[in-house]
Amino acid sequence: MEHKLDGNAAAGMLQAIFPFDMTLAQVTCAGCGTTTVIGATAAYMHGMGAIIRCPRCDNALIHIVHARGRYWLDMRSVRVLQMKER
Amino acid sequence: MERRTLLGRLSWQIGEVVAIRPETVRAKSITLDLPGWMGHRAGQHVDVRLTAEDAYQAERSYSIASPPEEAPRLTLTVERLDDGEVSPYLSEELRIGDKLELRGPIGGYFVWEAQMGGPLLLIAGGSGIVPLMAMLRHRTAVGSTVATRLLYSSRSLEDVICRYELDHLVKCNARLDGLCSPHRYPDATRSGLASRAAPADIYLWPHPVRRNGRGQPCGTGT
């Protein structure tokens, strides 16, 4: 069952993959062009992962699934992902 | 010269429950000992993972209630959701000595440290007060005098988490103001803070809210 939260809820899963503070990572939406920090996006959590949506146009930016020892990332709607070194 | 360390990928750590304290009828504070804990900043959260005997796993995020000054101990304040998968276990089944799997700290997006200054405006609905408690406890621990205002809306006075501590903090701190607004509609379902704290509540504020302050809203429907 999906549960809408903010991007901070999906950040833990992303930080198991990317060695950066992912709540501050910036995503540029391929749909509307808006750039948002992941902490300010909408995250829909489900049993196997999450869907991160653009707060402006609701486009599904990142689909993340974690199962059977693998991560799947569908990021076709992210034009640019920007992360800052510490 | 300060060494910049690379942030590693997060992995799961095991903590041991060392204290459990009821906060309200529905909320409990759980203190964990985490030997490998590297510290956190007020406002950050952890992911908690429960594994059942049949290997089914459930994960949820919980804000850290304790200030960074209490590391390597960590306190989470959990409010039981009636239809929750994880919160009923944490608030009713967990015992001192039990182990809990968690990863973190997560979230530089929602942090406050005294050196960031203020004025600071904290807005919370229900259990959204938890990360703000970490901020207020950090503020006290470092002796900060940053002007701080808290607006806290909850279902009822009995549901106000850390009520007596907040009362005490406001009484002892000249530069800390607090306003708690229990819901006016006792049978209302959980929804956003804006629809529950009435406009009149803002006007009860002792001082005008300045425009260039730092705002940290947190809670259901923020």
Fold (CATH) for B114-219: Rossmann fold (3.40.50)
Taking only the tens place, the pLDDT of each residue in B167-213 is 888 888 778 877 776 654 443 333 333 333 443 344 333 343 333 34
CB contact under 8 A, A85 and B4: yes
State the nearest Cα–Cα gap between A17 and chain B, in angstroms.
6
How many whole angstroms separate alpha carbon B154 and alpha carbon A77? 38
A44–chain B Cβ distance below 8 A for any pair: no
pLDDT at B221 over 90: no
- What's this model's pTM, rounded to 2 decimal places? 0.85
Q: If pLDDT is split at 50, 70 and 90, which confidence band does B27 have?
A: very high
Average pLDDT over residues B43-64: 94
pLDDT at B214 over 90: no
Given this model, what pLDDT does residue B215 score? 62
Higher-pLDDT residue of B159, B49: B49
The partner residues of B135 in beta bridges, in order of sequence, read none
- Name chain A contacts of B7, Cβ cutoff 8 Å: 15, 19-21, 86
Pick from A16, A18, A24: which is nearest to B11 by CB?
A: A16
Domain with CATH 2.40.30.10 in chain B: 13-106
How many whole angstroms separate alpha carbon A41 and alpha carbon A5? 9
Domain with CATH 3.40.50.80 in chain B: 114-219
- Nearest Cα neighbor of B71 from B125, B8, B126, B13 is B13
How many whole angstroms separate alpha carbon A50 and alpha carbon A11? 10
Question: Average pLDDT, whole number, for chain B?
Answer: 81
Q: If pLDDT is split at 50, 70 and 90, which confidence band does B166 have?
A: confident
Strands of chain B (E only): list them. 13-22, 27-33, 45-51, 57-63, 73-79, 99-106, 120-125, 148-154, 176-182, 214-219
- DSSP for A55-86, written as a single string: TTT--EEEEEEEETTEEEEE-TTEEEEE----
Please enumerate, as own/partner, the contacts of A66-73 that have beta carbons within 8 Å and a separation of 24 or more.
Answer: A66/A13, A66/A16, A71/A16, A71/A17, A73/A17
Tokens standing for residue B29:
């504070």
How many whole angstroms separate alpha carbon B216 and alpha carbon B218? 6
How many whole angstroms separate alpha carbon A83 and alpha carbon B8? 14
Given this model, what pLDDT does residue B195 score? 34
CB contact under 8 A, B7 and A12: no
How many whole angstroms separate alpha carbon B3 and alpha carbon A40? 30
Lowest-pLDDT range of B8-17, B53-62, B182-191: B182-191
How is domain B13-106 classified at the architecture level of CATH? Beta Barrel (2.40)
Given this model, what pLDDT does residue B184 score? 46
Given this model, what pLDDT does residue B61 score? 94
- Name chain A contacts of B61, Cβ cutoff 8 Å: 5, 8-9, 12
B47–chain A Cβ distance below 8 A for any pair: yes
Strand ordering across the sheet containing B99-106: B57-63, B45-51, B99-106, B13-22, B27-33, B73-79
Residue A19: cis peptide before it, omega within 30 degrees of 0: no
